[in-house]
Amino acid sequence: MRRIVSVLLENEPGALSRVVGLFSQRGYNIETLNVAPTEDPTLSRLTLTTIGDDKTIEQITKQLNKLVDVVKLVDLTEGSHLERDLMLVKIRTGAEQREEIKRTVDIFRGQIVDVGPEIYIVQLVGTGDKLDSFIAAIGCSEVLEVARSGVAGISRGEKILSA
């Protein structure tokens, strides 16, 4: 099963490598990884998605919790939550395809953020699934480059992840 784990991490040198190292050391996989500072400069927030059965996920969260730099963590998939991935796609377009692409971008509520003689850059925000469907809808041959942020997530309602 796919899980989204969000981690509050001490903003210390080496903290990130401990988290990433743990995954390779223990043979867990990381599908996406997103790290950035938070409103508290001493903390950064790391969100990763991983795939595994319940037992593996339990071990992952326990092992993460053991890292001294990990302040708190939550498995967002355990409750109701929001997840967003941001994608920039560079697409080659001949004149005859431009309308078609614009329509598709609109359907997916994306934006064309840069335009060149034969190039569009599209920005899209959503769940990983939505971004995958967009790529499928565009047709692979025209996609030149994809840059994705990896999933960031937050739980709905009153529940908060804080130090």
Q: Which residues bind another protein (CB under 8 A)?
A: 10, 13-14, 17-18, 21, 25, 55, 58-59, 62-63, 65-66, 68-71, 163
Residue number, 66 or 117, with CB nearest to another protein? 66
Strands of 16-151 (E only): list them.
Answer: 32-37, 43-51, 70-75, 81-92, 111-115, 119-126, 143-148
* 42 φ, ψ (degrees, to nearest 5): -85, -5
Residue number, 27 or 117, with CB nearest to another protein? 27
Residue 155 CB, shortest distance to another protein, in Å, is 20
Give the CA radius of gyration of the chain.
18
Residue number, 59 or 111, with CB nearest to another protein? 59
Residue 37 CB, shortest distance to another protein, in Å, is 17
Instruction: Give CA angle at 107 (109, 117), nearest 5°.
Output: 80
Residue number, 12 or 132, with CB nearest to another protein? 12
Residue 154 CB, shortest distance to another protein, in Å, is 21
Residue number, 34 or 61, with CB nearest to another protein? 61
**Please, which residues bridge with residue 87 across strands?**
124, 148
Residue 4 CB, shortest distance to another protein, in Å, is 20
Residue 122 CB, shortest distance to another protein, in Å, is 38
Find the helix packing angle between 128-138 and 98-107, rounded to 10°: 160
Instruction: Give CA angle at 39 (31, 14), nearest 5°.
Output: 55
